[in-house]
Amino acid sequence: MKVGDTVRIKSTSIYYGRKEETNPINIIGVITKIDKYPLGILVDWSNGFNNGYNTADLEVVDSVNNNYSIY
């Protein structure tokens, strides 16, 4: 994963299904920053909110084919 990648929350993440606007399911977001601390992958969601995650929580979206890939 890298800054600029389009992502969504994986269904296996502890944040999936919490019904919180800051942890949206099936909504696309963009990685805006990556730091080395836990939850250091910062994502701006298309619903206007943002939050931090680790790699286990996210999957990259191939926007061309609308496919999802786990990295």
Rounded to whole angstroms, the Cα distance separating 30 from 20 reads 18
- Which segments of 1-62 are extended strands (E)? 6-9, 29-34, 41-45, 50-53, 58-62
| pLDDT tens per residue, range 16-67 | 988 899 999 889 999 999 998 889 999 999 999 999 999 999 999 975 555 5
Please return the burial class of 15, using the count of CB atoms within 10 Å of its CB with bins 0-12, 13-18 and 19+: middle
The confidence score (pLDDT) of residue 18 equals 86
